[in-house]
Structure 1
Amino acid sequence: MNDGGNIHDMNAERKPSPQDEVRFKALVAEGDRARLAFRIADAITAYSEALNIREDPLVSGRLGICIAMANAPKYDYRAVHELFEAVFYAAGANDTERTLFWETYKRLRRRVCKVDVTASSVDALIYKGDDRRATRGSFFWTFVNRGVHKWRGTLTGHADIERIVECLGSEDVSIRFDFVALPPPPPPTPKETTKTIIIRDSAPPAPMRAAPSAPDPSVPVSAKPGGRLGFGIGPAMVFGAAPSPSVGVSAIGQYRRSGYSALVMARGAWSLGDIENRPINIFSAYAFAGPCVQWRWLDGCALAGATFFDRRVDSNPLYRTDTVGKVIPALGLGIGATYAINGSLSARLFADATALTRDMIIDVTADSGATTPVWQTQRFALSLSALLVFGR
């Protein structure tokens, strides 16, 4: 469920088409039937889809009642927001329903706080937690559950601001972000030039035996005579496979010779957060191979392979628990940097960008079988790996 916010959502400003209006009425009727039959999950799905078409305070009130009936405290903030819509506009088919909206709102309001957010600039971006996708403008309000909430504000050319809000229940809290401009960067320091004086003896120097030198880390391992086979493993971070960054592990195998190499890479990563506040976990696995061209300690690679997405919906009162996996072919480019620690151990950073041949749609399914798309993967995924490479 999306976070509660200003009274009117953006779709309230959009006049629905006649076809959308017909679908809106059908969804409301479907939600009413499910609510009266105590099929709460189906009613929540139908009312939510109707409100995605256009706002209606009566539908908001009935959705808030259904969320409260689901007895899921983590969604108290959403129930209060929807009931506030109904109470604010005195919605209800009759006095009994209006009274039910008001009494339920008063009961749940004791378990949430109303947060008013203001900022010193209309260009600021304010968001709660670590999810920048949920970024709002600089003047808004929202309901939050009990607990400690971290708010962040960003504005180009100004220092970021962080605010902590502790909600005990029923309070109205105001937070303000006053941004301070960052100082300009200092001018570059001019480099000092030094002169070296060499005094030579007129007598020829005695021959000396050269001492063995330590390996030069700037010289790539592949510059040594013959080929080199290496295997590496290390942590990885992936962007684009899920709404939030994913972390996992990468493993590579690479054969280098005469400025060229062949690379095989596998990676698995798990999403760090839920999707749109829904209990959905995403695991992504990648397998790629391709040729590389080296220049000193850098190398660039062309990659081809496949990406496997595994989407799991955890047990919850609103959606059906299930697992879906898909394999999507992909092409990509990568660039790596290698630092030779000793003759058989190297440190390696590798970044790659891959393009998927099609989208992966993340959805949830209610007990009635109705499927609701909630997120669609990006066509491009970016990843960064830090590895230790072992090889002869």
Structure 2
Amino acid sequence: MSRSAALATLLVFSLSVPCEAAEDEKGTPSPSAVQTTEPKTSRAARANARLSQQEEARFKALVESGDRALAAGRLNDAADAYEGALNLKLDPRLLGRLGLVLSMFQQTPENDIVIARALHAAVSEAAGASSAERRQFFEAYERVRKRVCRLDVMTSDVNANVMIGGSNVGRSEGAFWTFVPPGKIDVVASLPERRDVKETVACVSGKPIFVELNFPPPPPREAPPRGTIVREPKEKPVVVREKVGPLSAPTGRGLFSVEGGPTLVAGALPSPALGASLAGWYRRETFSVTAGVRGAWSVGSVEDRPIDAFILSGVAGPCVSWRWLDTCVLASLNVIQYDMADPPPYLPDRESEVIPGVGIGIGARYKIAGPVSIRLFGDVSSMLRQTSISIQTPNSATPVWNGGRFLASAGVTFVISQ
């Protein structure tokens, strides 16, 4: 058999050996495999073929004849014998021996691909009658591997059909690798009703090259036309079109709420005053209006004098809310009253006064459950004049306290919303 015929035979057998998915650190192919050309059952069917006694005897005779020719250096005779044995049964050991024989001839890039595939099959199967022969397969594989390029191919679809250098490799199954000659080569992946994906790679001898073929997403399908419902009343037909998408939100109503709780007032009286507040709210989206009253009693004496002080304030104004925070501009009318704890001989010079004021307030709400929430607030107002307390005796009037014009309050209230 001529050397070209032996290479052609070896190509047929080596293509039935699947390309591996990976190699170990030493370059030895791993046992996992991906079939690239023939069905996965093809190799098993050839390797496990049951021969008749006559065919088995002929197979052994051809193997022995090839071994004797190889030992004697008759390479053509060895190739003929191994080729005849492989025609009867596929054997990775014989593929390795035939690849070893053909590697001794003058090589071309195309022949190197065929020899590399055959030796790869022998090395990956740990084929060989002895460890020395397995070492020969491995060393020959390492030499030829440096003259070819390993191409790793990954596709975004496992059903993609791949062509390498114009030759159909078959279904990718997602990822595989194969040997290719050095130089530029085209890798094309195709799917029915999809645009082909093509990559041109520059393969280098002895180097692994990775190429990834990703199909673009399919074009969006046209939305089906909206259906119509035709109603047929007695007088004339009415066409009602179905609405597509969510319904628009209804226009929001105003929200009413009432709040009340303890309050601390400072600034208008000689000492801090404790009391309570009650207010109502009308809220619409982010804007609201509030109005309420609060009263507080001074908890300390006035310059060690038995004088009680009380303040009653009416407060109202517009507010702006943002999430849980609200800010208000407030107008207030403050009624301040002073009473003597003991009867004469002396009395306050002014028993009560009414002072308007303006200010600003801020509050924060925290929802507890359902319509109930809690609100923390504080505000500061500037009154139109300052407060003062004087006492008079039968013969004179004596000032005992002069207050400021600023009034501050803080508190916590429970809110019930509509």
Same fold (TM over 0.5): no
TM-score normalised to structure 1 length = 0.41
Largest Rg, 1 or 2: 2
TM-score normalised to structure 2 length = 0.39
